[in-house]
């Protein structure tokens, strides 16, 4: 399945967020792959709108598998201050409904 979601990065932290993602921890990248996240990309607008895209067999399962990893807990704790709102980013991901796909 294809999943596209949105989040909101604090506008005053957009540049730092981009910089932090230049080198995502190797163990985080490995955990995402092992949890079934494929073709994962993030896109960030200057105003803080973050669009995420991934492919997986089951999104809820892929999120749950990541939630069970220590590396995800560490990453979420470090990144929490970048986002608008409370809680970690994984809990606030809201998938969009796909309305068209050119196959």
80 near 42, Cβ under 8 Å? no
Query: Does residue 6 sit in helix, strand or coil?
Result: strand
Active site amino acids: 21
Residue by residue, DSSP assigns 42-92 as EEE-TTSEEEEEEE-S-HHHHHHHHHT-HHHHHHHHHHGGGBSSSS-HHHH
56 near 3, Cβ under 8 Å? yes
d(CA 29, CA 89): 16
């Amino acid at each position: 399945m294809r999943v596209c979601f949105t989040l909101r990065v604090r506008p005053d932290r957009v540049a730092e967020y981009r910089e932090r993602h230049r080198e995502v921890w190797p163990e985080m990248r490995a955990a995402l792959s092992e949890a079934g996240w494929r073709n994962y990309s993030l896109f960030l607008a200057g105003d803080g709108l973050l669009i995420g895209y991934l492919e997986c067999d089951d999104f809820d399962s892929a999120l749950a598998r990541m939630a069970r990893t220590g590396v995800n807990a560490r990453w979420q704790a470090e990144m929490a201050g970048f986002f608008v709102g409370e809680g970690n980013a994984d809990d606030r991901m809201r998938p969009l409904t796909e309305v068209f796909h050119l196959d």
